[in-house]
Amino acid sequence: MTVQSPTPFPHSPHLPEQVSFQRQELGVILGLYGRMVAAGEWRDYGISALPDVAVFAIFRRTAEYPLYRIEKRPKLRARQGMYAVIGSEGQVLRRGHDLAAVLRVLEKVRPVE
């Protein structure tokens, strides 16, 4: 009896690659998220993995627009940095190469009621 190694799924040319957060990046983001939930500031989140950007959206209430979006855009790695925090009206609050440093802007900001 011969044992065959498993055949990997073939890469489909029809499915575009997606940008996503790695486990370490999610650990940093969820650490901040947990602190803000405990403080009563945030209540819900959503994650999107798209062909050119990964987004972690933060909500005060479930049925609202996001208060903040944490974005990862690998194409901007060599320029201003692939991580960004975007405010509710589309303004870039901070952008950079180090995720933890970029997220510090959210430790200081209090959302407007």
Write the CB contacts of 32 (distance below 8 Å, at least 6 apart in sequence). 103, 106, 107
- 15 part of a folded domain: no
Q: Which domain holds residue 94?
A: 23-108
How many residues are listed for the chain in this entry?
113
Write the CB contacts of 75 (distance below 8 Å, at least 6 apart in sequence). 52, 82
- 6 part of a folded domain: no
Q: pLDDT tens across 17-60, in order?
A: 788 999 999 999 999 999 999 998 899 999 999 999 999 999 98
Would you say residue 113 has pLDDT above 60? no
pLDDT, averaged across the chain: 86
Please state the domain count of the chain: 1
- 92 part of a folded domain: yes
End-to-end C-alpha distance for the chain, whole angstroms:
69
How large is the average pLDDT for residues 59-70? Answer: 85
- Quickly count helices (H) and strands (E) in the chain: 2, 5
- 55 part of a folded domain: yes
**Own/partner long-range contacts of 93-97 (Cβ < 8 Å, ≥24 apart):** 93/68
- 44 part of a folded domain: yes
- 95 part of a folded domain: yes
- 1 part of a folded domain: no
Cα 81 versus chain centre, distance: 14
**pLDDT higher for 80 or 6?**
80
- 2 part of a folded domain: no
